[in-house]
Copies of this chain bind each other. A is one copy, B any other.
Amino acid sequence: MASYAPGHAASQTKHHEWRTAENSAAHLLPHLDTLARTKPNLKLLDVGAGSGTISAGLAAHIPHGTVLATDISDDILTRAAAHATSLGITNISFQRASLPNLPFPDGTFDVVHAHQVLTHLSDPAGAVRELVRMCAPGGVVALREVDMHMWCFWPAVDALQKFQGLMADVLVANGGQDEAGRRLVSYALAAGVERKQVEAGFGTWCYSAPEDRKAWGGSMIERLKTSQMRSKGIELGIVTEEGVGEMIKAWEQWIENDEATLGIMNGEVIIKK
C-alpha cells in the first residue's frame, strides 16, 4: 500500500497505543516461547508496526532475540522508536518498507507478525504470500485482523450500529477488507499454504471498564471530529454532518453508561512454515 488510509491523526494513534503484545498478540506468545527455547536469538519481523507498542512488547518477550519493525510511515516509526527507548528496549530496530514487496530475502525471519495490516490491503492473499516467503522453515507467521461486522455493542443503539457501518464502508471504499478477520484461513490457502499448516482462532478486545470506555469512546469521537473517516464518509454520501453529530452524542452517552460494553472480534491465524 502506498499510504495508510485511516491516517495517523492523534485519535488513531492514541487508540493504537492501547494495544500491547498481551492484549493483541496473545495467539503468538506461546509460539514465541517454543521457538525461543531452541533458538534464543530468533529474528522477528513486525510488518505494519504503526505506533510500535505491540512490537516493543514482542521484543521484551524475546530478550535474546531481535525485532525489526517496519511501517510505511517514517513519522510513525520515529514515534515507535521513542516508545521503545522510553521502555529501555534495545533489541528492536525500525525500517520503512511497504507491502506487497518487502526488501528481505526468502526465509530471513523466524517469526513474521502482522496485526491489522491485511484489513487495509486490496490483495490480502498476495500479502500473506509475501509474509510467508520471508519466514524461515520451522518458523511461524502470525496474523490478526479485525472483522468489522463483529462489533458487539451494549446498548446496541442505532447511532452506534451506523457508526460501525460507516467504518466498514469507508474501509472498503479505501480498498480495504471489512471481513478480513473471518477470511484469514481463506487468504492463507489462496497464498499457497496447506490447510494443515494453519491454526485458526479468534481473539477479542473488550471495552467496558470506565477507563477503557473513556479511552476507546474518546478515540472514536476524535475520529468522528477530525479524521479521514468523517470526510470520506460525507464525500461518499454514507453519512451526513447531522448523522456524525448523532454518532458523537451516542458515544458520549456510551462512555457515561456503566452498563456499556463493546466486544470486538479479531481473526487470528498461525501459519507454521
Binary B-proximity of A73-101 (CB < 8 A = 1, otherwise 0):
00000000000000000000000000000
Contact across chains for B185 and A261 when beta carbons are under 8 A apart? yes
Cα–Cα distance between A201 and B263 once the two chains are bound (Å)? 7
A150 contacts which chain B residues (CB < 8 A)?
A: 150, 152, 263, 265
Q: Which residue of the partner chain, among B183, B201, B202, B259, contacts A189 with CB atoms under 8 Å?
A: B259
Give the Cβ gap from A126 to chain B, nearest Cβ, in Å: 17
Contact across chains for A267 and B258 when beta carbons are under 8 A apart? no
Give the Cβ gap from A120 to chain B, nearest Cβ, in Å: 19
Give the Cβ gap from A106 to chain B, nearest Cβ, in Å: 25
Give the Cβ gap from A35 to chain B, nearest Cβ, in Å: 21
Cα–Cα distance between A179 and B186 once the two chains are bound (Å)? 29
- Which of A133-141, A162-170, A204-212 has 4 or more CB atoms under 8 Å from chain B? A204-212
Counting every copy of the chain, the complex holds: 2
Contact status of A259 and B152, CB under 8 A, knowing A204-B201, A204-B203, A209-B200: no
- A124 CB–B CB distance under 8 Å: no
Interface residues of A in 184-200 (CB under 8 A from B): 184-186, 189, 195, 198-200
Contact status of A202 and B200, CB under 8 A, knowing A150-B152, A265-B265: no
- A176 CB–B CB distance under 8 Å: no
Give the Cβ gap from A1 to chain B, nearest Cβ, in Å: 23
- A10 CB–B CB distance under 8 Å: no
Give the Cβ gap from A57 to chain B, nearest Cβ, in Å: 19
Cα–Cα distance between A153 and B182 once the two chains are bound (Å)? 7
Interface residues of chain A, those whose CB is within 8 Å of chain B, are 147, 149-150, 152-154, 156, 179, 181-186, 189, 195, 198-204, 206, 208-210, 258-261, 263, 265, 267
A-B contacts, 19 of them at CB < 8 A, read A149-B152, A150-B150, A150-B265, A152-B181, A152-B265, A154-B183, A154-B185, A182-B261, A184-B261, A185-B208, A189-B258, A189-B259, A200-B261, A201-B206, A202-B204, A202-B206, A202-B265, A203-B204, A263-B265
